[in-house]
Amino acid sequence: MTFKKFVEENLMSVDKTVKHKKGSNFYDTYSLKRGFFYRHGLTPEKHATRIEDQFKELGVEYELLDCYEDWNAWPKDSWMVAKFKIIKF
């Protein structure tokens, strides 16, 4: 099973999964995104924490690399982004 499929089947609050090319490390890195129009109190840190909580329940070994807001003026999509290094899933 691919990690993208794993995310689709097991994680709530993720709308888009982006796999990054491997750089100098040996692990895959992914950005897990949640789209928003209004924030309703959601922050990048809260988004990352929700994912981390779900990873812990599912036994995923990971490292949080970054979290940030990718805001774009309408009609483009805006995203809460959490970037992870996935060690084992």
How many percent of the chain have pLDDT more than 70?
A: 97
* pLDDT score for 25: 67
* pLDDT score for 32: 97
Our count of domains for the chain comes to 1
Structural contact between residues 28 and 19, judged by C-beta atoms closer than 8 angstroms: yes
pTM of the predicted protein model: 0.88
Q: Which residues of the chain have pLDDT under 50?
A: none
* pLDDT score for 64: 96
Beta bridge partners of 29: 20, 85
Residue length of the chain: 89
Question: pLDDT digit string (tens) for 54-65?
Answer: 999 999 999 999
Rg of the chain in Å (alpha carbons):
13
Q: Note down the domain range covering 48.
A: 3-88
CATH of the domain at 39: 3.30.70
Question: Which burial class, exposed, middle or buried, applies to 53 when counting CB atoms under 10 A from its CB (0-12, 13-18, 19+)?
Answer: exposed
